[in-house]
Structure formats: structure tokens, C-alpha cells
A and B are shown apart, each in its own frame.
Chain A
């Protein structure tokens, strides 16, 4: 999937990074129990409690609550720990001092794919979904592209901040936030860093929320406790398990199955150049999904060699009790087909024919 390959950070993780880079965040703490939430509230007074989930639209889902006493904070936290916004379990709650917000701004940096450059954005319309601002009043989003070799300089931040016509002290702080945000974007290999809202309060400019999305391809040089990425895997509702090489072909295989009346149960993209071991694990993973009645393996080998794939299939097939439909074309297809035939597994050459066969078998049992 073209949008996969990223790692989203929780709000509290984003805010920890913000603090390290000198962006102010509300005073608070992340807790794993309602009792602890009460304790924090007794120290902070009026608080906001925010479920730490990656699902968007937390406010609308009721996963952000307010409390004026430690007892209320504990009760609200109890409710939050029982929620599942977007099907996601709440394991942590962020308890923060409630801010006295005068104005809500938006600040964000992402990558403009078409231009191939970072784009820094600032808007006076914070606190709402920024797409709706873009839709309704695009003139209220100030942005500029950044040459990746030059970087983002103070004057660029000042130019953007000046567009808001802010009070003198706010002007300097907003420009400072943009500069620090760009440093995070660059040094953390982010694909997105976003503060919405960036709160203007009597005590200064404070990041009330944090959204940080890291490029998984850069994890080898970052320190997030995760190294490299797993194979792209998507679960669906149907009964045909799919193992395909390449994201485009994987999506096209899924579209084709649906178009022909089949229902994919899941699909796993083994990517380019997968060997025996990757194929073996991929097949075991796809077959372990309870809805799967048949596994469709669609390989068009370029950098991937069909004989390697065949060895992986044979390795996994011993521990799987499911029919397999294998389609091989491309690099070493004859060698691969020969290996599978020896193991008693038939091989198709035509993708549509193979897809129809998989659909038929998915209905058989």
C-alpha cells in the first residue's frame, strides 16, 4: 500500500519529542490507571484527559474528557480505559492541565509528493480539521515549500508567522515553534509533524496536541525501539487469502478477485526480491487467518525468482491444511513450476484463470 510504510506516534510520544526540542506542551503526565489519573489531577487542578489512541477524530468519539476534581478525573479516566475508539484499546491516558486558550492556531509540516519537497503550513484556523479549512477557505492556510538542501531558516518562519498579524510576543513564539518543528521533521525523518491546535494562552504559545508520523524506511537510523518494517499485510472480510509480490499487483489482484465475484480474506505483499524464508512466513501468516478457505499466490517474478518462491511454498505447505492456487509468471517460472509439480501442487500461468479457480475453491468448502 502506498500509504503504508509509516509509524505514527501517540500524542504523548510526540509531546515528549516536542519538549526535547523546546516546544512548550501543557504540564501533565501519561497514566495507565484511573487512580494515577486522580493523583495527577490533585496536583494539576482542572485537567483534560485524553485517551492515547492513533485513531483520528478522538474528540468526536468522546475520548477527550474534562475534570475539575481528582475524583472526577479518576471517574473520567475509568470511562476512557473502557472505551475502544475506532476499535482501538485504550492502554494509556494523558492527563494534562487545562489551558486557558485565547486563540487556536494550526502548524504542520509534511511532504508535497508532487513537488518532492517539504511544505510548512501555518493557519489561524486551528482546532478544526485542517482539510475542512483547506476546502472552505484555502486563503487561510499560509504555506511554503522548503529546499531540502537549504533547510528552513528563521526568516522563512518569520514570514509565515507575520501572515497571522499577531501580537509581538506571539509572533516570536510562533516563528520559534515552526523552526523547532522543522528540526523535528528533519532529524526524526518524519513524513508529518502537526500541532493542532497550537494554543495561544496568557502564558504563551503551547502545543495542545501532537501528531508525528515517522517514515518506516528511516527506522534504521532512528531510535524508536523498532527496526525496519514488516511486510505490508491487510485483513479483509472474505475467504481468499492472498500472497502477492508488489503493492500494485497486490491491489490489482484484490480488485480482480472482487470484480470476478470473490472475496479476499487478507493480502500480504511480499515485496520485491523475497526469498524462500519470506515466502514461507508469508504463507503461514496468511493461512493462519481464520476466515481463509483457499490461498491464492500470485507471483509475477522480476527481481523475485519463482523457484525461490516455490521452495517457500513447499516449506509452508506441510503445516497448512488449505488448498493453494499458485500462479507463476516471470523469472525462473519453469523451475518454480517444476518444483511445485513434484510436490503435487498445480501451477497456473494465467492470472484471471487462477483467480477464477481460487474463487471457485473458496466456495467449495
Chain B
């Protein structure tokens, strides 16, 4: 088992004819992901790495059975593509970076209306090693295993997955929730899935400064039965990058690395000082 995706997940790619969409469709196919169709408006009838292209998600779903979509559509058109996916599918992974936050709020709200799970935007995606990947992460840093990983950042998550893999462990699923201020799915929802997953023994949470997602996660971690270890990036980040007073009201002074590390430690999670120390902490909690 794993969370969100496995070897049976059938997905489409929106923006499949673009350079990133096409490149990563090939890598996802190479990994064994069942990409059954692609969508680029106006380019129906083409094929990308053997995957047939359609003008709309609806048209693609008339010919193919799929439950998920990976979106590579450029930011100015991404909200439209996301709405289209949300209307028809169960799981939507938005890789696109630079989507206006007002659009992201609408995407999240629309997904809630339709009972659709949105991952991202600005995410590396999801990988269940050895089974499927809906995303852009480099396959070679992962190995099948029993550690769940959830991260705001993409490349930092690869770094930590690499350390886990090189230490001889592996990952059940890695979920990049996305680095934007507003994302479709937060830490807590992913932690809940890992808590219920029979094939995950421990969870790694990778956070960073800004907002209060880690503090919210810590409240849930305190109730979890599975061990959680964490890392928070930005402890030496220069201050004064905060955006404004009103933002600070919502988070009530939360947002510094110190606050996040303290909250995680108070919840019982071990927190690493270097990304490469994560495997050592995992060994301790899994003993």
C-alpha cells in the first residue's frame, strides 16, 4: 500500500505538449506510471511518447479511464485547467509554479465543492516508489520502503529522500504539498493519510519558515500513534522578509524556524539540524 497513488492509478497529463509536460511524461512513463492520455486544447489527435492527446479532459475521459491528472499548464491558464480537472477527477496534482494566490484560493475552494483532492500548486508532485509517480522528482533518489515523507519544498525533499534511501531505508510515499502560501492540501491531511496507511511506519515532515503550517501540523502530530521526525529550513534566514502586519495577525508571531522547531519538538517529533541527520533520527524512532 501507499497513499494517494499506487500501481493502479491511471492519470492524464494536462499541458502534455509543452516542453516540461512532454519531458516529464516520458520520465513518468519510464517509471511505470500509467499515463493514459494527455490534454492540450487545439492539439487533439497528436501523440506524445505514445500517449494520445485530446482537446479536453472530458474528451480524454470518454476514451480512457483515469482518476488523476498532473498539470503542467502555464500559470496564466492554470486555474482554468485546474477547474477542468477538478470537475472530472478525484486527484489533481498541480506542478505549475507562479500561479497567482487569488487563483489558488479559488482552486482550493472549487476542489472542496467537488470533493476533489488537489496537491499543489508549485509542487514536485507525489511518488510511491516502485509503483507510480505523478510529478517531476528524480526517480533515482527514491526506493520502496516504509517511511512516509511530506514536504513544502521539492528539492529539499529529494535531498532528504536521498539520505533516507542511501541509509538503506525507503519511502512508502512522498508528497510535496507545494511551496505557495495557499495550497490544496496541507500537512495535516497528508499526516492523517500516513497515520492510516498500513505500509507506513514513520513519517518525515519537511517544513520551512513562513506561515504556520508546521505549527498546525504539530498539533496533529501530538495525537498520532506513528513516530514523526522533522526538519525546518530557514533557521539562518535573515529577518525582515516578512510581508506585513495583517499577515502576522493570522499567525500570531508564528513563522520563524525556531517557533516551528519548538512546536514540533513539543509534539514529540524529533527535529534534525541537518537534512542528512534525518535517517539517524528515523533509526532511533523505528528501533
Q: B97 touches which one: A8, A264, A271 (CB < 8 A)?
A: A271
**Per-residue contact bits, chain A 131-160, to B (CB 8 Å; 1 contact, 0 not):** 100110000010000011100000000000
For B76, B243, B245, B276, the residue with the greatest tally of chain A CB atoms inside 10 Å of its CB is B245
B286 at the interface (CB under 8 A from A): no
Are B158 and A300 neighbours in the complex by a CB distance under 8 Å? yes
Q: A301 touches which one: B138, B208, B237, B238 (CB < 8 A)?
A: B138
Shortest distance between the CB of A223 and any CB in chain B (Å): 14
Contacts of B211 in A (CB 8 A): 2, 113-114
- Chain B residues 236-255 with CB under 8 Å of chain A are 236-238, 241-253
C-alpha spacing A300/B209, complex, angstroms: 21
Are A249 and B153 neighbours in the complex by a CB distance under 8 Å? yes
B154 at the interface (CB under 8 A from A): yes
- Chain A residues 120-138 with CB under 8 Å of chain B are 121, 129-131, 134-135
Contacts of A255 in B (CB 8 A): 233-236, 274
C-alpha spacing A123/B24, complex, angstroms: 50
Contacts of B246 in A (CB 8 A): 108-110, 121, 130, 192, 194
- A129-B242 contact given A116-B108, A331-B138, CB 8 Å threshold: no
B63 at the interface (CB under 8 A from A): no
Contacts of B15 in A (CB 8 A): none
For B159, B241, B273, the residue with the greatest tally of chain A CB atoms inside 10 Å of its CB is B159
Are A215 and B138 neighbours in the complex by a CB distance under 8 Å? no
- A192-B244 contact given A110-B250, A121-B249, A272-B97, CB 8 Å threshold: yes
Are A251 and B208 neighbours in the complex by a CB distance under 8 Å? yes
Contacts of A215 in B (CB 8 A): 100-102
Shortest distance between the CB of A122 and any CB in chain B (Å): 11
Contacts of A234 in B (CB 8 A): 237-238, 241
Shortest distance between the CB of B142 and any CB in chain A (Å): 11
Contacts of B153 in A (CB 8 A): 246-249
Are A252 and B233 neighbours in the complex by a CB distance under 8 Å? yes
A239 at the interface (CB under 8 A from B): no
Are A259 and B138 neighbours in the complex by a CB distance under 8 Å? no
C-alpha spacing A250/B231, complex, angstroms: 14
- Chain B residues 137-161 with CB under 8 Å of chain A are 137-138, 140-141, 151-159
Which size bracket describes the interface of B in this complex? 35 or more
B268 at the interface (CB under 8 A from A): no
Are B252 and A252 neighbours in the complex by a CB distance under 8 Å? no
| Interface-facing stretch out of B53-61, B179-187, B195-203 | B179-187
C-alpha spacing A191/B100, complex, angstroms: 10
Are B158 and A302 neighbours in the complex by a CB distance under 8 Å? yes
Contacts of A141 in B (CB 8 A): 249
- Chain A residues 224-250 with CB under 8 Å of chain B are 229, 234, 236, 244-249
A4 at the interface (CB under 8 A from B): yes
Are A247 and B138 neighbours in the complex by a CB distance under 8 Å? no
- A302-B136 contact given A116-B105, A248-B206, CB 8 Å threshold: yes
Shortest distance between the CB of B149 and any CB in chain A (Å): 13
C-alpha spacing A1/B162, complex, angstroms: 23
**Per-residue contact bits, chain A 265-282, to B (CB 8 Å; 1 contact, 0 not):** 000000111000000000
**Per-residue contact bits, chain B 254-269, to A (CB 8 Å; 1 contact, 0 not):** 0000000000000000
B124 at the interface (CB under 8 A from A): yes
C-alpha spacing A330/B137, complex, angstroms: 8
Are A217 and B154 neighbours in the complex by a CB distance under 8 Å? no
Contacts of B67 in A (CB 8 A): none
A90 at the interface (CB under 8 A from B): no
Contacts of A186 in B (CB 8 A): 102
Residue of A nearest to B155 (CB): A246
Q: A252 touches which one: B95, B212, B231, B243 (CB < 8 A)?
A: B231
A89 at the interface (CB under 8 A from B): no
> Can you sample 17 A-B contacts with CB below 8 Å?
A2-B179, A3-B210, A110-B249, A114-B213, A116-B104, A117-B105, A131-B252, A215-B101, A217-B75, A248-B151, A255-B234, A271-B97, A272-B154, A302-B124, A302-B158, A303-B20, A329-B141
The 6 A-B pairs at the shortest CB distance, nearest first, are namely A248-B153, A246-B155, A2-B210, A248-B156, A218-B100, A110-B246
* Given A114-B212, A131-B253, A245-B155, 12 extra CB contacts under 8 A: A2-B210, A110-B250, A131-B248, A134-B249, A191-B181, A248-B153, A271-B97, A272-B136, A302-B135, A302-B138, A304-B155, A331-B138
